[in-house]
Structure 1
Amino acid sequence: MEHNSVRSRRTHHKSRLGCRNCKKRRIKCDEKKPACSNCQHHGISCDFTASLPASPSPATSDPDEPQRRPASKFRFRASRYQSHLSRTSMPVSETSTASTGVQCDDPSIRPDGLSLPDLQLFHHFVTATYRTVAEDTHGWELWQVHVPQWSMTYSSILHLLLAFSALHRGHQQPASAPELRNRYIAQADQHFTFGVSTVTSILSQFELTPENAQPIYIAAILICFVYFARGPLPGEYLVFSDAGQAEWLVLLRGVRLIVSTRRQHIFKGVMVPPNADQEMMKQRYISAEWLEIWQGDQRQLLEVRQLVRQRSADFVQGDMCVSLVDSLMQTFEDVYVKMSAHRERVGLMQIIVGWLYRLPEAYISLLQEKQPPALVLLAHWSILLHYMRPVWYMRGWDCHVIDGVQRSLPWEWKEWASWPLRRIQSLENPG
């Protein structure tokens, strides 16, 4: 009689060689080199990458130099644009910063492989660009210190930061150097592509956590900055477009999703605004310089309010438009209070764009349907954009939005959008 043999249990060798990130999250690491799949998926730096020796450049390597080098988180590599640069047609200082090494369209390229031009863009951000996104020392510290620190862990922030810096460098070039400006734009586009894809992946898979809420929020804000800095696009007017859904509206909804999901994890620590700003806004002081202008704007907005109220029966959501006129008047007043304190104009961003951020979806639908009352209200809001013209990445948006409104309105409503246009023209030519 045969004895039934007991099947032996297959042995299992538990690996302890997973990367540090996977161990911390207590998930299985596939131990792929140079970066495991989990780290690639989340767009974060894998310590497997840091453990790889940097390959010496053939042009600079010394045969007597030891082959093993200390592990480094970032590695230098050649720029994809380097072959297109003419060193004789460009000053040395510009040649070194006119290229970037990020090949975002090639998945085989690791996002943490940095070229020297990338580091020069990084240096430009922490020495110049950071001052253009905040109005005081609290904000400058956030963007000069903390955001660059986060970029060392979150590659999405790194690439968006470099994209924004490249656009700033391009903006600083003279009109007589369009080729150089276009090279910076090309750099920005490459970095922007990778940065956006990483943030989109996290949001689409609902992987926003208390730990990454602040960095992902900053990445989303950087995406909006880059969008503004690239300048107005034909047919795109922030919250409505000539065809389809406006691109910036998609970005705005992404920021909304992040804030609504993780507000308590975002606005804490270094992200808490200073109390001084809140006290200033409570005082409601408007200087003589701005008081007469504010009173003129207020009279015009009251006329718009009366118009919308009279025509509310003819349009869907008429009552909502009336209440939005009231909120826009409050926004105008907030802007004049802020400017009376002689603060940096970039500080108006939160107030002015904040009005768009708080718009109800029903009103946004009216804009997309090109309903006249909604468009007229947006035209008056665009006056406030003019006050942000000193901010390099906001120039041209005021006239662009009003132009889109004018072309979208039926002829009997065009006069109501003409007043905001004349108002902006009077600000441009005060004499």
Structure 2
Amino acid sequence: MPRMQEEAREVRRGKASMPELLEKVNTLPLQQSWRYLASYTTAVDKPTGSAYTEHYQVAFVARLDFSATIGQRVERCASPYTASHSLCPQLASLGFDLFDLEIWHHWSTVVCYTLSEDGENLFLQNVHKIAFGNAYVAQLILAVSALHLARKDATRRLACITRSNAHQSSAINGMMAVMSDDTNKNCTELYMAACMLVFCSFGKGPQPGQYLAYSDYGEPQWLGLLNGVKSILEQNRSKIYPEVRPTFEPDPNISNRAPTEEVLPGFSKQFDRLRQSIELLQAEDPSFKKYLEALERLHECYVATFEYNGQKGIKISSHMVFAFLYRCKEEYTSSIQSKRPMALVILAHYLVLLAQLKKEWYLEGWVPHIMAAIRSHLHPTYKHWLAWPSQHV
């Protein structure tokens, strides 16, 4: 890694070019290529014009993600910096067949309504417009829909997953191609594509050794994708269409909040106890401040997640469920990846919130999968903190 960082610095100093960097990446195995590009963004402070590099992170994390699933290297498309600046062939023609037509129909009649609280407005009116003008978005729609169809039709499960993987591979190549242009012109499309990659990662179901926020080996794939979404959104928020631009901050104007205690009995007492324990530990170790900050963010998400929905009961704001990991600082997420006990305890409490979305098809199996891993990795002296989360997941 030090050698990679030094070579990345050479690019930043003007002694080497981005084409040379990308050419180097194309000669590396998949695992090393992602680390190499990541080293470019961490070697020095990011300048104003470095947004495209972070978009490459999204593509390479996703490439690692599904290539690990199918157990083989996914063939790369030529880099837009080492080839011409024209778009890859798949952007000119999708080459749909009848199976793809069925998958698209499944998307438009079923799947699009499952991915958003305002599914009809957001996904039908906006995502379709974006997809018809950008092949890689359309391909990722097909990839997500194929994963959903795989769950509904067991006889064609393998065929659906294989088709989903193929569309993901082709779409990522398309994303890489448009990154050779001014990213500001494509930020809405790239943001939507990155979100679809996150749903693809979820939709494949729990993977051995992967637990969303941490893994048994290296950087967690899903968190890498989330960071890609975060990078695109934060650097280009004003340029992304308002209709598809989410908010991860609690809305103070909502007047119909449902008390969290009403939905999750014992919530207030549990969080008070946990906060007091962390404060005592912080008195001995100032670094525990990061856990207090993470707990406060989680508390805010709990409070903002539940709303009264008339006679229908309680409505869950799914964007506030995902807001926790989106808003967490790297200091805390790094502690999760290091399997620090208190970091895992807070993550277990987050699973209670994630479990509220248990009806969502793409989350099926994830909560028990992660909770089992936390039980396995948590130091015995901290396991009593899992009692309350276990009651609610």
Q: Deviations over 1:104-123 (max 9, x none)?
A: xxxxxxx5211121122112
Q: Deviations over 1:144-191 (max 9, x none)?
A: 232123222212111110011111111222xxxx44222211111111
Aligned to 1:152: 132
Does 1:285 pair with 2:257? yes
Distance 1:185 1:210 in 2: 33
Count of aligned pairs between the two proteins: 309
Aligned to 1:329: 299
Does 1:221 pair with 2:195? yes
Aligned to 1:357: 326
Distance 2:304 2:261 in 1: 12
Q: C-alpha displacement at 1:255, in angstroms?
A: 0.6
Q: 2:107 aligns with which of 114, 119, 125?
A: 125
Does 1:140 pair with 2:120? yes
Structure 1 stretch displaced more, 188-197 or 353-362 = 188-197
- Shift of the 171–343 alpha-carbon distance from structure 1 to 2, 3 Å rule, reads farther
5 Å matches for 1:208-287? 209-268=183-242, 270-271=243-244, 278=251, 282-286=254-258
Q: C-alpha displacement at 1:294, in angstroms?
A: 3.9
- Shift of the 375–255 alpha-carbon distance from structure 1 to 2, 3 Å rule, reads same
SS at match of 1:114: coil
Aligned to 2:152: 172
Aligned to 1:183: 159
Q: C-alpha displacement at 1:393, in angstroms?
A: 0.8
The amino acid across from 2:222 in the alignment is W
SS at match of 1:337: strand
- Shift of the 340–200 alpha-carbon distance from structure 1 to 2, 3 Å rule, reads farther
SS at match of 2:374: helix
Distance 2:145 2:219 in 1: 28
- Shift of the 360–43 alpha-carbon distance from structure 1 to 2, 3 Å rule, reads farther
- Mark the runs of 5 or more structure 1 residues left unpaired by the alignment: 1-35, 46-110, 425-431
CA contact (8 A) 2:87 2:177 kept: no
Q: C-alpha displacement at 1:197, in angstroms?
A: 3.5
Distance 2:330 2:184 in 1: 27
CA contact (8 A) 2:87 2:174 kept: no
SS at match of 2:269: helix
The amino acid across from 1:126 in the alignment is S
CA contact (8 A) 2:210 2:221 kept: yes
Aligned to 2:69: none
SS at match of 1:39: coil
Distance 1:273 1:236 in 2: 26
CA contact (8 A) 1:308 1:321 kept: yes
Aligned to 1:114: 96
Q: Deviations over 1:285-338 (max 9, x none)?
A: 326xx6434451121111111111112255563112112212211211112236
Aligned to 2:86: 39
The amino acid across from 2:289 in the alignment is D
The amino acid across from 1:112 in the alignment is L
Aligned to 1:297: 267
Aligned identity (percent) is: 27
The amino acid across from 2:98 in the alignment is L
CA contact (8 A) 2:91 2:174 kept: no
CA contact (8 A) 2:261 2:268 kept: no
Q: C-alpha displacement at 1:340, in angstroms?
A: 7.7
CA contact (8 A) 1:338 1:348 kept: no
Distance 1:42 1:247 in 2: 28
The amino acid across from 1:153 in the alignment is G
5 Å matches for 1:375-390? 375-390=344-359
Q: Deviations over 1:328-369 (max 9, x none)?
A: 112111122367885896x63311111100110111111111
RMSD across aligned C-alpha pairs, in angstroms?
2.7
- Mark the runs of 5 or more structure 2 residues left unpaired by the alignment: 1-82
Q: C-alpha displacement at 1:228, in angstroms?
A: 0.7
Q: Deviations over 1:195-221 (max 9, x none)?
A: 234335656x6x453321111111011
The amino acid across from 2:233 in the alignment is V
Distance 2:227 2:204 in 1: 19
- Shift of the 303–295 alpha-carbon distance from structure 1 to 2, 3 Å rule, reads same
The amino acid across from 2:329 in the alignment is P
SS at match of 1:126: helix
CA contact (8 A) 1:199 1:220 kept: no
The amino acid across from 1:39 in the alignment is S
The amino acid across from 1:170 in the alignment is A
Q: Which has the higher contact order (CA 8 A, sep 6+)?
A: 2
- Shift of the 265–201 alpha-carbon distance from structure 1 to 2, 3 Å rule, reads same
SS at match of 2:133: coil
- Shift of the 392–273 alpha-carbon distance from structure 1 to 2, 3 Å rule, reads same
Structure 1 stretch displaced more, 178-187 or 158-167 = 178-187
CA contact (8 A) 2:341 2:379 kept: yes
Q: C-alpha displacement at 1:278, in angstroms?
A: 4.9
CA contact (8 A) 1:385 1:397 kept: no
Distance 2:298 2:229 in 1: 21
5 Å matches for 1:42-121? 44-45=91-92, 112-121=94-103
Distance 2:233 2:245 in 1: 14
TM-score (structure 1 length as normaliser): 0.65
- Shift of the 179–413 alpha-carbon distance from structure 1 to 2, 3 Å rule, reads same
CA contact (8 A) 1:335 1:352 kept: yes
- Shift of the 315–198 alpha-carbon distance from structure 1 to 2, 3 Å rule, reads farther
